[in-house]
Structure 1
Amino acid sequence: MRIGIVGTGNMAEALGTQWAAAGHELLVGGRDAARAAALAERIGARAGGLADAAAFGDAVLLALPYDAAVEAAAVLPLRGQALIDCSNPVGAGFTLVTEGGPSAARRIADAAPGAHVVKAFNVCHEGVWRLTPPVFDGRPLTVPLCGDDEGALTLVRELVKDLGCEPVAAGGLERAGLLEATAALLIGLWVGEGVDAQAIAPPRAFATGGH
């Protein structure tokens, strides 16, 4: 698969490294040509500008902070690609800066009507995506996906599996805000309170009162 990576930060490197190792063809695009070239060399990809990465991929990873992601989505040359939004609109106090309005994913989709946005990879720290694979207590990590286009979802499911993870349908893009709120809650527990956030949910057998 051809994958464009828009951005040169930690998420771009973590996911790009795994996908390059899985045999995909990558092009890293950044505003800073030197940073894009350096990242591309580290992960075994080509380098270019933001527009080059967007035009290159069958799937495009939008690996930018939320504010920059919306701005970039509005100008990128996207023509029907799967656009993966991994951003978290989390501000001070681990609150959503999008509270009361559309989700980050919806705002990105509205800014880029030529793309099929899939919300994914936003719940975990970039360090998790560097694990090969992310398996905990013998159980592969599950990655929830929100999107409206089945073709785009199919591509992203393949990319999830390339990480050694299991994709799970979390609904259409209208539910992406729930994923973003989940990330805000978990980050607040992990970082703000030092709590093992996994401990807040019972095993599935007990989730609805059964056992």
Structure 2
Amino acid sequence: MRIGILGTGGMATTLGGAWVRAGHEVLVGGRDRAAAEATAARIGAAGHGALADAAAYGPAVLAAVPADVGPELVKGFAEVLAGRTVIDCSNPIVPGDDGLVLSTGATTSIARRMADAVPDARVVKAFNLCHDSIWTLPRPEFQGAPLAVPFCGDDPGALDLTAALITSMGCTPLPCGGLARAVYVEATAAFAIGAWLDGAEPRFAFPVPMAASV
């Protein structure tokens, strides 16, 4: 699959690298063409260019940019992104009085704001719960099970495409419903990252119900 990546930072590099290893064709686009070239070379991407080049490259586009600039950035490519699956992997997390909070006020999500900015695109929320280092693993697996990747969106075709990308990386797709649920996925990231920063393991808070069976 051809995947365009908007951005040249950590998530662009590690997710892009995972997709290259999975056999996908990746083009890295950035405002800084030298940074895009360096990122593309680092991960063995098929090419690099401007943001516009990445937006137009393939059926899937990863928006790997800071949450606060994402909606406005994709709005600038609304026409070319029409009909494409735009994957938002950002987290609108900022420090608050009682720990990490969502800059959106938890009343909406960045993914929803992106969908409003590019109404003819097919926006999916995915890949925001793991630190970028996780995507450097050849096949993310923990305690003998493949990593589950939550994702949500409103377009069935975009969800199928995202699930295929997740599966190609050796992970398990974890569908979480429509795009209205993206705010909960982002809130989960705020909870989990806050727990990690406090030295806790949030995964221990979610045992499966069958664990209590005797």
The TM-score range, normalised by the shorter chain, is over 0.9
Equivalent of residue 91 in structure 2, options 88, 98, 107: 88
The aligned counterpart of 2:200 is 195
2:155 is the alignment partner of 1:153: no
1:5 counterpart SS class? strand
Structure 1 residue 150: deviation in Å?
Answer: 0.8
Give a deviation string over 1:111-145, Cα, whole Å, max 9, x none. Answer: 11121001000011001111111101101110111
1:167 counterpart SS class? strand
The aligned counterpart of 1:125 is 131
1:91 counterpart SS class? strand
Q: Which amino acid aligns with 2:92?
A: P
1:12 counterpart SS class? helix
- Identity among equivalent pairs (%): 53
2:74 is the alignment partner of 1:69: no
The aligned counterpart of 1:30 is 30
The number of residues matched between the two structures is: 208
Q: Quick check: 1:134–1:164 contact (8 Å CA) kept in 2?
A: yes
Structure 1 residue 204: deviation in Å?
Answer: 3.4
Q: Whole-Å Cα distance in 2 between the matches of residues 87 and 100 of structure 1?
A: 14
Q: Whole-Å Cα distance in 2 between the matches of residues 94 and 124 of structure 1?
A: 16
Q: Which amino acid aligns with 1:86?
A: C
The aligned counterpart of 2:110 is 104
Gaps of 5+ in 1: none
Q: Whole-Å Cα distance in 1 between the matches of residues 71 and 39 of structure 2?
A: 23
Runs of 4+ more than 4 Å apart: none
TM-score (norm 1): 0.95
Structure 1 residue 73: deviation in Å?
Answer: 1.2
Q: Which amino acid aligns with 1:142?
A: A
Q: Quick check: 1:128–1:134 contact (8 Å CA) kept in 2?
A: yes
The aligned counterpart of 2:184 is 178
2:172 is the alignment partner of 1:169: no
Q: Quick check: 1:4–1:27 contact (8 Å CA) kept in 2?
A: yes
Q: Quick check: 2:107–2:183 contact (8 Å CA) kept in 1?
A: no
2:147 is the alignment partner of 1:144: no
Once superposed, what is the RMSD of the aligned Cα atoms? 1.3
